[in-house]
Amino acid sequence: MDVTIKTALISVSDKTGVVDFAQALARLGVKIISTGGTAKKLTEAGVNVVSVDAVTGFPEMMDGRVKTLHPKIHGALLGLRDKVEHTEAMAQRGIEPIDLVCVNLYPFEATVAKPQCTLEEAIENIDIGGPSMIRSAAKNHKFVTVVTYPGQYTQVVDQMRDNHGAVSESLRSELARAAFGLTAAYDAAISKYLNANAGVEYPDRVSIALTKESSLRYGENPHQTAALYRLPVSAEPSVCNGKLLEGGTEVSFNNLLDANAAFELVKEFDEPAAVVVKHLNPCGCAVDDDICVAYRKAYEGDVVSAFGGIIALNRKVDVELARTIMESYSRFGKALGASGFFAEVIIAPEFEEDAIEIIRTLKTWGGRVRLIETGPIDHAKIDTGECDVRCIIGGLLLQKRDLAGWEPEALTYPTEAKPTPEQLEDLRMAWLVAKHTKSNTIVLVKNKRILGVGAGQMNRVESGLLAMKQAGEEAKGAVMASDAFFPFPDNVENAAQAGVAAIIQPGGSKKDDEVIAAADRLGVVMVFTGKRHFKH
């Protein structure tokens, strides 16, 4: 059933496009009711407006807290036009039906995102009348059109123009669904803020407000559907907040997971760093004073696994770096046994225009690669309050993000031999890479680049053997990191046999004494961090 719009109530905080919208409604013969700042703006633009207090017979009061919470407003929205009892009650009380409500809400999330926001300011930006009108209109969308986003204005006006001033049932239903989504997200943001302000980490009820960013081709596998949703007001440089540059093929579910894994690791380093990730695990990582050298060293860490991988960089991609990436196979990889090279995603803080042109044209695969630009990496913008959310069937597991990084003041040195400054730098890198690798994990590093990674194995010994096999002869003089403690000396013995010179691990095993004794007997340096980095 189509419903002709005769009367509209407009009251918005975000006034983007509202004058044009109101003018278009007025030209279609719609009577417009409005409040406060919105009424003033529309009047100044020449739109004839009826004030809310003229409708209710009751003045706005209490600094605007009370203005639309009135039976003549909510009766006009909730009354069923096809039910005699409702229409008779409306007529008896002089309630004129309102056919369209255009409301968006006080900017609560933007307000609380400001560093100096006080509790009082936050409370004053909790909208009450707006959500009430939205919910009333959305509940009665059989008769009422509810508009909550400036992006909906054109759609409504176009349909009214094409339909003699009426809005279709399907559009009213669509707008009502969006409206309830808005109020749910708004309440979730308020609840989150108030809990955080009270120091409540895990409240009895949790609502996660997300906004759909895009549909994806499919999920992890082609038979699974998928979409990307964004958390509100996150300023942290990330894959989700990054800009997907033009060109390339559509980004996929797996691309986003892998790009996130790669970028979160490269963010750990202040010096120029490059990471190559395959199936959520780093197969290459290196740091250097020169970002091009760092990339080359990262790629050379495992040229076979790098095929079809994700490249993450913490510096701008300029022409030289673009050429280095695109020529990886011909310049470095072929001699190391690679059968070819291409990247699924390159993610970096910035891309020069000329560098983009090189990526897109130098190799045939460059036209397909997805380029994600995140903006500058600012560690001050890391959202320490955001939770890591994992799904299990029927529920969610929430935990605080693992933001523990390199903490030199917490290190202890239980072995007789102590690390050299150079070894300590490699141990730092190995430890940070282990943090971002699936457990059980062993990482070998030398000269600030990965030599071998053993990830996701059911026992730590197997992970160590895989890492050492990949490193080969280069394991001599390398350092090793383990994301969790050694329950037995076996990994230390295998590492020493391969020539590993130093090991970093959390410590805390019942058999630490045996592990330390083995290291001393074999002349291996050991460092304890006191923290583990399981990543399931």
**Catalytic-residue membership of 139:** yes
Residue 51: predicted pLDDT: 83
Catalytic residue among 6, 86, 279, 316: 279
pLDDT per position as a tens digit, 504-514: 999 999 999 99
User: Cα dist. 190→69, 115, 124, 186, 211 in Å?
Assistant: 20, 16, 12, 6, 16
Residue 61: predicted pLDDT: 66
The residue written with tokens 């020539």 in the block is 499
> For strand 525-528 and strand 502-505, is the pairing parallel, antiparallel, or unpaired?
parallel
With H, G, I as helix, E, B as strand and everything else as coil, classify residue 491. helix
pTM of the model: 0.89
Domains 3-197 and 234-380 share a fold: no
Residue 63: predicted pLDDT: 67
Helix, strand and coil percent figures for the chain, each rounded to 5: 40, 20, 40
Residue environment code for 261-293, b if the CB has 16+ CB neighbours within 10 A, otherwise e: bbbbbbbbbeebbbbbbbbbbbbbbbbbeebbb
d(CA 262, CA 327): 21
* Contacting residues for 144 by C-beta, under 8 A, at least 6 apart: 3, 77, 98, 99, 100, 101, 136, 137, 138, 172
Domain ranges of the chain: 3-197, 234-380, 408-528
With CA atoms as reference, report the closest residue to 344 among 239, 270, 455, 269: 239
In residues, how long is the chain? 536
The CATH number that domain 3-197 falls under is 3.40.50.1380
With CA atoms as reference, report the closest residue to 259 among 228, 289, 233: 228
Helix (H) or strand (E) holding 19, with range, is: helix 18-27
Catalytic residue among 139, 142, 334, 531: 139
Tell me the two tokens of residue 266.
């490269």
**Catalytic-residue membership of 379:** no
pLDDT per position as a tens digit, 291-301: 999 999 999 99
Taking the chain (536 residues) in runs of 10, the rounded mean pLDDT of each run is 93 93 95 90 93 75 70 86 87 90 90 90 90 94 96 95 95 96 92 92 89 93 95 86 92 96 97 97 97 97 95 98 95 87 97 97 95 95 88 93 95 98 98 97 97 96 96 97 97 97 97 97 98 95
Residue 253: predicted pLDDT: 96
With CA atoms as reference, report the closest residue to 305 among 333, 265, 331: 333
Residue 504: predicted pLDDT: 98
The residue written with tokens 């940070």 in the block is 432
Tell me the two tokens of residue 422.
């150079």
Q: Which fold has domain 408-528?
A: Cytidine Deaminase; domain 2 (3.40.140)
Q: Which fold has domain 234-380?
A: Cytidine Deaminase; domain 2 (3.40.140)
**521 phi and psi, to 5 degrees?**
-60, -35
- Residue 92: Cβ within 10 Å count: 8
Helices (H), 305-364: 319-326, 328, 353-362
**54 phi and psi, to 5 degrees?**
-70, -30
d(CA 302, CA 306): 6
Residue 106: predicted pLDDT: 87
With CA atoms as reference, report the closest residue to 386 among 231, 179, 520, 157: 231
